[in-house]
Amino acid sequence: MNKNIIAKSALIDENVIIGKNVKIGENTVIRAGSIIGDNVDISDGTYIDFNVIIRDNVTIGINSFIGARAILGEYLADFTVKREIAPHMLSIGDNSVIRSDTIIYGDSIIGDYFQTGHRVTIRENSQIGSHVRIGTLSDIQGHCEIGNYVNMHSNVHIGHKSTIKDYVWIFPYVVLTNDPNPPSENLFGVTVEEFAVIATGTVILPGMVIGKESLVGAGAVVTRNVLPERVVVGNPAKDIGSTDRIRDKETGKQVYPWKYSFDRGMPWEGIGYETWKEMDEEGKHSILG
């Protein structure tokens, strides 16, 4: 039985295929060529661009943007290999921007204010917090946890079993590996602690812990744990000192901890980390502001 509930204010182009038990909210737009599966819930104010594929059991929060040719709720191996149909839920939060050609599998939960670049791939069993941004071509292999306010730039590869905590920055062409004895079945994910920064082109070996507020320099190959507030560089990476020694070459000012000098997109934007932290401790707002 088909129980679709489609708001009268929704604008749906011709040549859109819509499945069963679909809810489409107020002021949504669905452009031509899109295909919507069964049990899909598209919330108010969301814009679905041309040729998007939304498979079964996908929920999208309000005021989101789904770019052309995104695939949401992509098939897992049970269907592609065995042609079995099993339900896999995908939930994407409010105010998200999924740019064109992004593929997100079923069996994942993603928070509000999520943004992707183009051609991002996110596999099953990914738990992603709020205010996370993942750049063009990045490849999240699934079975991983990503916190809040995490920023990944282009072409980042996050192996199975990785854990990335809040306020982490990962720059282009970084790989978090997981297999200490390749090929093997015993995978050990990398853990990246709060406020850590991993610069461009680094490889993190399996099971490593990248400490809180630490900095991994560009091109490093990290073969040992990185201690909190330390800088490592090189292949293999060596600890070259404390982050508090780094100065901006232009201004001479101390750069790290970066939370005191950078606020764009952060919950302390416009008020500074210290003021925000005081407010937070007084319970005046939540971490997800």
Binding residues among 211-230 for its own copies as defined by CB under 8 A: 218-219, 221
Nearer to its own copies (CB atom), residue 24 or residue 52: 52
- Work out whether strand 17-18 and strand 35-36 pair parallel, antiparallel, or are unpaired: parallel
Helix/strand/coil for 159:
coil
Nearer to its own copies (CB atom), residue 17 or residue 86: 17
Evaluate the CA torsion angle 234, 235, 240, 245 in order and state its sign: positive
**Nearest-approach distance from CB 258 to its own copies, in angstroms:** 6
**Nearest-approach distance from CB 177 to its own copies, in angstroms:** 5
Query: Can you list the pairs that 4-8 forms with residues at least 24 positions away whose Cβ atoms lie under 8 Å?
Result: 7/44
**Nearest-approach distance from CB 154 to its own copies, in angstroms:** 5
CA proximity to 98, closest of 157, 56, 42? 42
User: Does 270 help bind its own copies (rule: CB under 8 A)?
Assistant: no
| Span from 68-76, 84-92, 270-278, 281-289 in contact with its own copies (CB under 8 A) | 68-76
| Span from 32-40, 85-93, 126-134, 280-288 in contact with its own copies (CB under 8 A) | 32-40
**Nearest-approach distance from CB 155 to its own copies, in angstroms:** 6
Evaluate the CA torsion angle 110, 57, 8, 16 in order and state its sign: positive
Cα 49 to Cα 33, 44, 58, 123, 263: the distances in Å are: 9, 15, 16, 22, 31
User: Does 275 help bind its own copies (rule: CB under 8 A)?
Assistant: no
User: Does 154 help bind its own copies (rule: CB under 8 A)?
Assistant: yes
Cα 254 to Cα 5, 66, 178, 200, 213: the distances in Å are: 56, 40, 34, 21, 14
Residues from 95 through 114 that contact its own copies (CB under 8 A): 97, 99-101, 103
**Nearest-approach distance from CB 181 to its own copies, in angstroms:** 4
Contact 99, 118 (CB under 8 A): yes
CA proximity to 193, closest of 142, 236, 230? 230
Q: How far apart are CA 171 and CA 151, in angstroms?
A: 8
Nearer to its own copies (CB atom), residue 117 or residue 211: 117
Neighbours of 85 (CB within 10 A): 10
Residues from 167 through 196 that contact its own copies (CB under 8 A): 169, 171-173, 175, 177, 179-186
User: Does 48 help bind its own copies (rule: CB under 8 A)?
Assistant: no
**Nearest-approach distance from CB 1 to its own copies, in angstroms:** 22
Residues from 8 through 27 that contact its own copies (CB under 8 A): 15, 17
User: Does 276 help bind its own copies (rule: CB under 8 A)?
Assistant: no
Neighbours of 72 (CB within 10 A): 26
Nearer to its own copies (CB atom), residue 213 or residue 282: 213
**Nearest-approach distance from CB 120 to its own copies, in angstroms:** 10
User: Does 248 help bind its own copies (rule: CB under 8 A)?
Assistant: yes
Interface residue with its own copies among 157, 160, 165, 230 (CB under 8 A) is 157
